[in-house]
Amino acid sequence: MRVPAMIAAVALVLAACGGEKTETTETTEVPATTETAAPATTGTTHTVEMVQDGAAFKYVPAELTIKAGDVVVFKSVSGGLHNVQFHADSIPAGAEAIIDAAISNKQGPLASALVNVGEEISISFAGAPVGDYRFTCLPHMAMGMHGKITVQ
C-alpha cells in the first residue's frame, strides 16, 4: 500500500510545481551614480598601528607625512576594536568625497568599520588634495586616540 501512496504524493508535488510557464520580462532600472572611480594608487604604502599601551590608546605614528597617491594601512595591534574616523571639518576642501570613496568597509561617512586585533584598514590617498587630514578612533576618542596625516 505504500508504493501507490508514494506515487500519489510524488504526482501531487509534480503537479504543484508544474503547470503552464509564462515568460516574464523584467526591466530593472539602474540608478545613475555620481560616484567616480578612485584614482589608481601610485605611491608608497605606510603603516599606522592602532595600539593600547597600558591605559593609553594611540596611533603609532600619530602624525604621518605622505604624498598624494600613497596608501595608509591602519593595523589594529592591541586594545580591542578600533576604527578610523576623519573629521569633515578638519580635512582639505574637496577631500571628503575622495576619502569617503577610498574607505571600502564603512561604518559611516568618512569612517571605517570597526576592526579586531590583527585586522587592517587600507585607505588610498590617490587624488587627495594636499593638506592635513585629522582623524580619531571613535571607541577611544575620549582617551585621546587621535592622529594626523599630512599630504604633500
Contact 102, 38 (CB under 8 A): yes
Contact 149, 133 (CB under 8 A): yes
pLDDT at residue 45 in the model: 97
Q: Is the dihedral of CA 85, 88, 90, 93 positive or negative?
A: positive
Residues in the chain with pLDDT values less than 70: 1-41
Rounded Cα distance, 144 and 55, in Å: 11
Does residue 31 sit in helix, strand or coil? coil
pLDDT at residue 17 in the model: 42
The CATH code belonging to domain 45-151 is 2.60.40.420
The residue with cell 504526482 is 11
pLDDT at residue 22 in the model: 42
Q: Phi-psi region for residue 118, left (φ > 0), alpha (ψ -120 to 50) or beta?
A: left
Query: In this structure, what are the phi and psi dihedrals at residue 144, rounded to the nearest 5 degrees?
Result: 85, 20
pLDDT at residue 40 in the model: 57
pLDDT at residue 41 in the model: 55
The 8-class DSSP code of residue 86 comes to E
First-to-last CA distance in the chain? 85
pLDDT at residue 43 in the model: 87
Q: Which cell numbers in the block locate residue 74?
A: 591602519
Domains of the chain, residue spans = 45-151
Q: Minimal CA–CA distance to 119: which of 58, 72, 76?
A: 76
